[in-house]
Structure formats: structure tokens, C-alpha cells
Amino acid sequence: MNTIIYLIRHADTINETGIRNTNETSQMINEKEILSIKGEEDSKKLSKNKELKNIDFIWCSSYVRAKQTAKYIANENNLQINLDDRLNERKLGNLKEIAIFMKDKKTRDPSQEQLLYPKFKTSDGESAEDTNKRMTEFLSECLEKYKEKRVALISHGGTIKFLLLNWCNVNNNVRLEYKGKELNIASPCLLKLTFNGKDLVDLEQIV
């Protein structure tokens, strides 16, 4: 039997404007972002997808929006949520440095552009390579520990994209492709990865 890993990006987050706590760093603010009403509704709908029935284990980022997405899947499967910070979003770091990096880039999404520049990182941030290393390490542990099980990993757009660089190509639209099919790492998304041992057999976009 194969091991099934479901890679899930958290659902839509709320848009906020106005005064924020000036004692909080951009990283702290990022970690505390919450789901929008649409995000809550989409998370509940996602949890009822037939692919996510009878999950054996759930692992989740420690960020609030990821846990809010995971709670519905956990409830449907009567499972607890396990947390590991290796599933956290990559650290953006200095936002001014990000703005300089993004100048004249093809997309408006730094995580997409980092697919083309995997070594780039801000002075206090993480590169795509850094993020890929910790995610690959975590995935490898899951494949060893949960052989022939079905495991849901709830994470983030950048983190998922950078892990997928292990098997996917980056096309001219700066999007990931697997065997010629373009992937859409939206909020939320559900990817099904099938492994034989530690070898990827198939990658399918479900949502």
C-alpha cells in the first residue's frame, strides 16, 4: 500500500486596515492573521471533501489561520491537531527588502518570485531553499513514521510551493507544473501526494 499525504493551504484570511500594535513585528502580525467569514465557510466545506474522510493523522502549522482551517478537518475525523513549526510559513523578514526585491518582477507575489530565485532572502527572513529544507525534513519523518497511512498537513502558500520544488517545474507564468499540469496553490487548496516509500508516485490537485 502507498502512503497518502494531503498538502492543504489554509483558507482565505481577513483584510485589515487601521492602527496595529506598534510593539508587534511583521512576523508576529503574520502569525496571528485570522480567517475571514468566507475562509471559515470554505474550511468547513473543504473538511467534508471525500478525500479527507478517514484521515489517520493531522499536522498543522502553529499560525492561527492554519489551525482555524485544520479544526474542521479534525472535527470531521475525530482527531487531535498536532503542531510543528516546520509547517509554518516562510519568514518574510524585512518588508522594505522584500519591496526592493519585488521591483519590476512579473508577479505581485513574493512567494512566486522566490520560485525563480530560491536563494533570495531578506536579512532576517528565509529563502525558498531554507524553507524547502525544513519541509522536506518534516515530510521525510512523516513518510517513515506513518507508512501506508493517510496524513493531512495544513500549511501555507509559500511553504507548500517551496516543498513542491522537489518534484515540480516552474513555467513561464511563474507557476508550478507537475507533468505538464499547472497547479493552483490558492486559499484553500488540497493536493494529494501518493508515495511508495519515499518516492513520489503521483501528485493530484483535488481543490
pLDDT digits (tens, 9 = 90+) for 49-79: 999 999 999 999 999 999 999 999 999 999 9
Q: What is the pLDDT of residue 21?
A: 52
Range of lowest pLDDT (22-31, 161-170, 173-182, 185-194): 22-31
Instruction: Report the distance separating Cα 177 and Cα 167, nearest Å.
Output: 9
Residues 46 and 52: beta-carbon distance below 8 Å: yes
pLDDT for 24 beyond 70: no
Residues 158 and 92: beta-carbon distance below 8 Å: no
CA 149-137-110 angle, to 5 degrees, is 110
Give CA 105 to chain center in angstroms: 22
Residues 13 and 65: beta-carbon distance below 8 Å: yes
Q: What is the pTM of this model?
A: 0.93
Q: What is the pLDDT of residue 106?
A: 82
Instruction: Report the distance separating Cα 127 and Cα 144, nearest Å.
Output: 26
- Highest-confidence range of 8-17, 99-108, 113-122, by mean pLDDT? 113-122
pLDDT for 32 beyond 70: yes
3 state SS of 195: strand
Residues 123 and 94: beta-carbon distance below 8 Å: yes
DSSP state of 86: G
pLDDT band at 28 (very low <50, low <70, confident <90, very high): confident
Q: What is the pLDDT of residue 149?
A: 98
Sequential DSSP letters for 56-72: SEEEE-SSHHHHHHHHH
pLDDT for 23 beyond 90: no
Instruction: Report the distance separating Cα 5 and Cα 146, nearest Å.
Output: 10
Instruction: Report the distance separating Cα 186 and Cα 77, nearest Å.
Output: 24
Phi/psi of residue 92, nearest 5 degrees: -65, -45
In this predicted model, which residue has the larger pLDDT, 46 or 93?
Answer: 46
Phi/psi of residue 76, nearest 5 degrees: -65, -30
Residues 86 and 133: beta-carbon distance below 8 Å: no
3 state SS of 9: strand
Task: Report the pLDDT averaged over residues 187-197.
Answer: 97
* Residue carrying the nine cell digits 501526494: 193
- Average pLDDT of the chain to the nearest whole number: 94
